[in-house]
Amino acid sequence: MKPASKTPDWVLAALEERHQQNLMRRTITLESPQVPHAQIASQDYTAFCSNDYLGLANHPSLIKAMNDTAETYGVGGGSSHLVCGHLAPHQALEEALADWLGYERVMLFSTGYMANLGVISALADKNRPVVQDKLNHASLIDGALLAQAPLRRYLHGDVASVQKLLTKSSAAGLLVTDGVFSMDGDIAPLAELSQLANQYDWMFMVDDAHGLGCLGENGRGCLSLEGLDSASLPILVGTFGKAFGTAGAFVATSHDYADYLTQFARPYVYTTAMSPAVAGATLASLQLIQSVEGQERREKLARHISYFRQRMQSLPVELIPSNTAIQPVVIGDSKTAIAISEQLKTLGIWCTAIRPPTVPVGSARLRITLSAAHSDEDLMLLCDSLEKVLTAKLLSAKRLNPM
């Protein structure tokens, strides 16, 4: 009999290094839905780490739409969109999204990660560089790597730094930014970036995963906040795993780009279409986002954001200038961030510590995310608990270092 294969030493060494640096990642199993309250190992917590910003993931209309669509169309698409996986619910969702955002076409992708890989790897290559914000999401960076395109990253949100790179570049390419930055919650200067892209004849793409549904008129995201449209922002990516409360993603664009991506975006061509039942639930979500209830949920979220920021003002914490649902409290080193997250758990608050390489070294943080599903009491508990834990931390740091 062949001996059982041994785990290579380099795998074990890499794991040990992660352990030593307090950077080990593990999954956590929830015994309940994820927001506003989550049960883990039979303990109840108020959760502040979900991207379900509008609290739609458990909404009865979405659950009903998912069940109804599954009854009619089944739960699986059975193939890619280009073989037999593009069913009526997919088409209806694409058309409704295109209408909502004012684009000629929308294409669905199975995840946001794949949408970004697909679009960038199809549009960039060795001769068409990619210029990106330093804090862009990993999937945007990975798209440029997959394209084997020259990749330049500019200082976060710094338009002068973009202009320098575009001026220096020998060829035009693709300028890409997050709309709302996933780990900081601030918003990119989209109107200025769009102008620069236009001036230098570069393609312009925005990933508004965290803005769509939450921001702007009718929840149309950064696009609407910054006064852009399909002409000034020709390639817009959105995801459904956040404010929409489901899963999957889309690209809103022109007929020409959509036809091109249909030929050349490999993560579109070579993968199974999202479940038609998820497409049905996402359409119900889009209808809610556009309704009075959607507006009320956005307003509630906005009230939570302003209450949270006001309460944090008196605390010894570094807050990032963010007016979105993402309200990070930057701690610094990973060990302390983990310790604070654990202390919050003892007070019934669940918020995972986000550490490098997801965020820059030395900026480990509690990525606190607020949701319209939270009540005012939930917010109060969060702020009271942070006050307790962070004040105690400050006092103990002073004792250790009295200067």
Binding residues: 25, 112-113, 137, 182, 210, 239, 358
Does 182 qualify as catalytic in the annotation?
A: yes
Regarding 267 and contact with ligand PMP (CB under 6 A), the answer is: no
As given in the structure block, the two tokens for residue 394 are 């400050």
Sign of CA dihedral 206, 209, 210, 214: positive
Which C-beta is closer to ligand PMP: that of 116 or that of 121?
A: 116
Closer residue to ligand PMP (CB): 188 or 317: 188
Q: Which window, 188-196, 206-214, 294-302, 309-317, contacts ligand PMP (CB under 6 A)?
A: 206-214
Q: Considering beta carbons, is residue 103 or 240 the nearer one to ligand PMP?
A: 240
Distance CA 362, CA 356 (A): 8
CB of 179 to ligand PMP, least distance (A): 8
Q: Is residue 278 a contact residue for ligand PMP (CB under 6 A)?
A: no
C-beta closer to ligand PMP: residue 186 or 207:
207
Task: Number of residues interacting with ligand PMP: please give it, by CB under 6 A.
Answer: 14
Kindly state whether residue 52 participates in binding ligand PMP, applying the rule CB under 6 A: no
**Whole-Å CA distances, 357 to 158, 301, 354:** 22, 29, 9
Options 196, 209, 215, 233; binder of ligand PMP; rule CB under 6 A: 209
Q: What is the DSSP letter of 188?
A: -
Nearer to ligand PMP, 203 or 386 (CB): 203
- Using CB under 6 A as the binding rule, the residues of this chain from 116 to 175 that contact ligand PMP are 116, 137, 139
- 158: which residues sit within 8 A by CB, 6+ positions away? none
Q: Is 241 in the site for ligand PMP (CB under 6 A)?
A: yes
Residue corresponding to tokens 């990749």: 151
- Distance between CA atoms of 372 and 55, rounded to whole angstroms? 6
Question: Which residue ranges are tagged as binding site for substrate?
Answer: 25, 137, 358
Report in angstroms how near the CB of residue 46 gets to ligand PMP at its nearest. Answer: 21
Catalytic, 300? Answer no
For residue 274, give the DSSP letter.
Answer: P
**Contact call for residue 177 and ligand PMP (CB under 6 A):** no
CA–chain centroid gap for 78, Å, is 27
Q: Of 4, 26, 24, 28, which is closest to residue 14 (Cα–Cα)?
A: 24
Residues in the chain: 403
Active site residue 110: no
- Under rule CB under 6 A, residue 239 binds ligand PMP: yes
Write the single-letter amino acid at 255. H
Read off φ and ψ for residue 7, nearest 5 degrees. -65, 130
Residue nearest to ligand PMP (CB): 112
Which of 45, 113, 268, 308 lies at the binding interface for ligand PMP (CB under 6 A)?
A: 113
Handedness of CA 58, 60, 61, 64 (dihedral sign): positive
Catalytic residue among 182, 194, 230, 371: 182
Evaluate whether 219 touches 226 at the Cβ level (below 8 Å).
Answer: no
Stretch that binds ligand PMP, among 109-117, 147-155, 340-348, 392-400 (CB under 6 A): 109-117
Q: Is 207 in the site for ligand PMP (CB under 6 A)?
A: yes
Count the Cβ atoms, other than its own, within 10 Å of residue 376.
11
Residue type, 336: T
CB contact set of 106 (below 8 Å; sequence gap of 6+): 93, 94, 95, 97, 98, 250, 251, 252, 253, 258
Catalytic option among 81, 90, 210, 374 = 210
Tell me: does residue 186 bind ligand PMP (CB under 6 A).
no
Which residues sit at the interface with ligand PMP, rule CB under 6 A?
111-113, 116, 137, 139, 178, 182, 207, 209-210, 239, 241, 249
Active site residues: 182, 210, 242
